[in-house]
Structure 1
């Protein structure tokens, strides 16, 4: 192996740049050349790539987003698009590819593997919904962003004695809502994995008012319900002053936390080591504070288990 490629795909996640930096510098340390593809699989289909040097990744470890950019590539989903991508791969002269992204990105890597081209993956998604890894790059930053927003909203909620419904990202997974809700002391956390009863939520709010509570925070993962609709229901059922804050893409931006930078650096280096050892068709993950690899098929076989013990704890502590 003498040359590898790297791309970032899917939604951007804080720490992706740190992962790119680690891949590039670890590869160059071992005497490999590195090609960076822009805009994910789009760049792979349309030949948007360039050679990367040590200086190409200077001063990016602290930056959010991805310097390689990311975009949807519907063309890659079609056989003709994948054939074009394989042609670009031959043109670029790379011997393997490192894909940084989520489940959709890994399915693209699996498609390349089926076509006979080696690929490895680094989990990079704020949703933290990839199985076989405790954390995905970007999750910790997103949780910290959401927790910081809860802290700030709580000041206003207390001052005006209001209920605030805060909607966070998580279409199919409630990991951000749970972690930020537990860390931020939310009174109720609504996630896709656990059925909820708005009557119970309202009863909890009313109990709080009776004991003199001045405010409440209800955290809603977007896949569980609409924050706007939840707020309307709460206001109608309780007549409490209820407002809504939808964090949206705010959660995905900003400087990655130290944890995400370290995680991305470790996984990026491990991805290069995996390729140098002759292994591919795998994802490098972080399990029990150790970097471990697992096949793409195992990582994508099922949805990541939801930590119901933490959910129960959050409910108990918000009593």
Structure 2
């Protein structure tokens, strides 16, 4: 269906991710540069349902490119999961005469977008989630920043772990995806990395701790992806099996905040700009993707395809380097 797109809505949905503001800024300013009217929707789909929509200007996105979080706010919307909620969202889009919608978020946000696609709304998705768990793209906005945040935190934790001669278990985010744990663990030289994709043996980890102690190592760092299970139970078991004192640190939402890294800011800006290019080409129901260090357009359905396999080679390398 060919649509003369003149008025575009943009929202951020799901968990916030560093770089969302950079993507929003690019959507707004590139859209205005090309003569489009761009409307910001507050609080994601929840705000869309309740008509929290205002026109954006060049100045409304000033000084946000390196700001963490999202100035449009975000919210989980249970109502959007219902037919009634989807109908309300559709009515608001028609009321505001929006020709297309740019959705910045993760897989849940894209699923919400698909319900609007089915009703004839033109959609472009921008993958923004620290988990890096969206199929069809090598990187999602926020992943690089979150990984660097973990590395920075672990470097501080290692100082106190060394001073007190303790084993620290550091839980990181990622739901059922171990990408943050793997990348950060390799970068900071963690002794063990526990991820949901690969089974682990606490006896083996305990033996590794003992071998390190025998050669004079007085502390250890173990990264635990939140999808693995209770980090407290794992710490308790390791203490029992190894005899070493353990401490637990849960980084939690610290990983979502802060200014985006240069890489995230650049990718976000490129994706925001690409989203407008897709709309101008009237080639919607697409998503932006970062593939082979280039931002490209691909079908929105690609977000639900087969994800890139967990990088077992990188995981094995991390284990080999932490003998």
1:305 counterpart residue number? 309
| Aligned residue runs from structure 1 range 124-139, under 5 A | 124-139=128-143
Q: Which of 83, 94, 97 matches 2:98?
A: 94
Gaps of 5+ in 1: none
1:154 paired with 2:162, answer no
Give the one of 228, 244, 260 matched to 2:264: 260
Cα offsets for 1:151-190 (capped at 9, x unmatched):
0000011111110000001111000000110001000000
Contact 1:131–1:305 under 8 Å retained in 2:
no
Alignment TM-score, normalising by the size of structure 2: 0.97
* TM-score using structure 1 length: 0.99
Q: Distance in 1 between matches of 2:124 and 2:64?
A: 22
Task: Say if 1:21 and 1:265, in contact at 8 Å, map to a contact too.
Answer: yes
Q: How many residues align?
A: 319
Q: Deviations over 1:32-64 (max 9, x none)?
A: 000000000011111001000000000111110
Q: Shift in Å at residue 225 of structure 1?
A: 2.1
Is 1:180 equivalent to 2:180 in the alignment? Answer: no
Q: Does 2:285 align with 1:281?
A: yes
Mapped to 1, the partners of 2:26 and 2:316 lie a distance apart of 38
Tell me the distance in 1 between the aligned counterparts of 2:308 and 2:236.
Answer: 32
1:54 aligned to which of 47, 51, 58: 58
- What runs of 5+ residues in structure 2 fail to find an aligned partner? none
Measured on the aligned residues, the alpha-carbon RMSD in Å equals: 0.8
Q: Flag as ranges the 4+ runs of structure 1 deviating above 3 A.
A: none
1:219 aligned counterpart, secondary structure: strand
Q: Give the Å deviation of 1:303.
A: 3.6
From 113, 119, 127, the counterpart of 1:115:
119
Partner residue of 2:42? 38
Alpha-carbon distance between aligned partners in 2 of 1:151 and 1:200, rounded to the nearest angstrom = 24
